[in-house]
């Protein structure tokens, strides 16, 4: 059985103080949840304070990016072991905003995924098609290229513990959600493709849906066979709405 994972991507929002306030409010609201894994991914500068705040709670911490080199002359970058050292267990890799604005490619995603695992982090690797690609009917080709390129070279254990986030770019931050059926179709495609590459790991890998998930649409999405959780931007920023997402089945 795959344990559902509800992950919040705060993007470039919240100072350290604001992150701590949100976490203080969230902790009691989700304290009784043990059937869903909870993950929040603040900005780098809030990770230390956030980690202090979540100690002893059921909330996990993740970063939104890393660089694959271990250390050295790479001004402005953060290494996998630094991300691990500040208390993260997960890291988002290859978010569409990073692909769009910061030139990330399947090749850099792959380097980051491998480096994250080597540092003891679990990557949440993002894939997804643009609106143009969906309209041109090349969604499956695009996703296949991202998966084969970005997720190559994993061993069996890594392939099972990896988290994949399917985020149609046209649904991110737009208020436009993929229908549960549209999302399920791509999730099933991803799992089948993954089984061709990594065999048994396909039953274990968690595939999150991302793109305007909110407390109103979460439960229908979570009912789909191959949707194992959400990667949520806007609706993860406030404790109330994120708690509702975590408790989608209640």
Match 């996703």 to its residue by tokens.
Answer: 143
Considering beta carbons, is residue 20 or 213 the nearer one to ligand PEP?
213
Query: Using CA atoms, how far apart are residues 71 and 66, in angstroms rounded to an integer?
Result: 11
Q: Which of 95, 129, 133, 187 is catalytic?
A: 95
Q: How far is CA 75 from CA 72, 78, 79, in A?
A: 8, 9, 11
83, HSE (Cβ side, Cα atoms, 13 Å)? 34
Q: Which of 97, 129, 133, 167 is catalytic?
A: 167
In the complex, minimum distance from the CB of residue 121 to ligand PEP, in angstroms, rounded to a whole number: 18
In the complex, minimum distance from the CB of residue 211 to ligand PEP, in angstroms, rounded to a whole number: 5
Among the listed residues 167, 162, 231, the one whose alpha carbon sits nearest the alpha carbon of residue 203: 162
Considering beta carbons, is residue 147 or 231 the nearer one to ligand PEP?
231
User: CB within 8 A of 231, min separation 6: which ones?
Assistant: 7, 9, 92, 124, 126, 165, 167, 208, 209, 210, 213
Which positions touch ligand PEP (CB under 6 A)?
9, 11, 167, 172-173, 210-213, 231-235
- Nearest residue to ligand PEP by CB is 233
Task: Count CB-CB contacts under 10 A for residue 138.
Answer: 15
Considering beta carbons, is residue 79 or 217 the nearer one to ligand PEP?
217
In the complex, minimum distance from the CB of residue 234 to ligand PEP, in angstroms, rounded to a whole number: 4
Tell me whether residue 187 is one of the annotated catalytic residues. Answer: no
In the complex, minimum distance from the CB of residue 11 to ligand PEP, in angstroms, rounded to a whole number: 6
In the complex, minimum distance from the CB of residue 172 to ligand PEP, in angstroms, rounded to a whole number: 4
User: Given phi > 0 = left and psi -120 to 50 = alpha, else beta, which region is 206?
Assistant: beta
Considering beta carbons, is residue 13 or 195 the nearer one to ligand PEP?
13
Considering beta carbons, is residue 20 or 172 the nearer one to ligand PEP?
172
Query: Using CA atoms, how far apart are residues 158 and 110, in angstroms rounded to an integer?
Result: 13
Residues labelled as active-site residues: 95, 167
């Amino acid at each position: 059985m795959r344990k559902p994972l509800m992950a919040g991507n705060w993007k470039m929002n919240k100072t350290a103080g604001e992150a701590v306030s949100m976490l203080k409010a969230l902790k009691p609201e989700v304290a009784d949840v043990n059937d869903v894994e909870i993950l929040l991914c603040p900005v780098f500068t809030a990770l230390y304070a956030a980690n202090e705040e979540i100690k002893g709670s059921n909330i996990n911490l993740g970063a939104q990016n890393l660089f694959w080199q271990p250390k050295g002359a790479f001004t402005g970058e953060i290494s996998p072991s630094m991300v691990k050292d500040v208390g993260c267990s997960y890291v988002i890799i290859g978010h569409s905003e990073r692909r769009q604005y910061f030139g990330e490619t399947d090749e850099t995603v792959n380097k980051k995924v491998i480096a994250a695992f080597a540092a003891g982090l679990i990557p949440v690797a993002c894939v997804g098609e643009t609106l143009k690609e969906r309209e041109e009917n090349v969604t499956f080709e695009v996703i296949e290229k991202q998966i084969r390129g970005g997720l190559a070279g994993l061993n069996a254990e890594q392939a099972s513990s990896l988290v994949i986030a399917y985020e149609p770019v046209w649904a991110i931050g737009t208020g436009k959600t993929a229908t549960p059926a549209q999302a399920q179709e791509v999730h099933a495609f991803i799992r089948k493709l993954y089984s061709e590459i990594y065999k048994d790991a396909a039953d274990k890998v968690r595939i999150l849906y991302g793109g305007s998930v909110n407390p109103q649409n979460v439960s229908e999405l979570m009912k789909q066979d191959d949707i194992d959780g959400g990667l949520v931007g806007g609706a993860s920023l406030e404790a109330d709405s994120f708690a509702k997402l975590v408790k989608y089945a209640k």
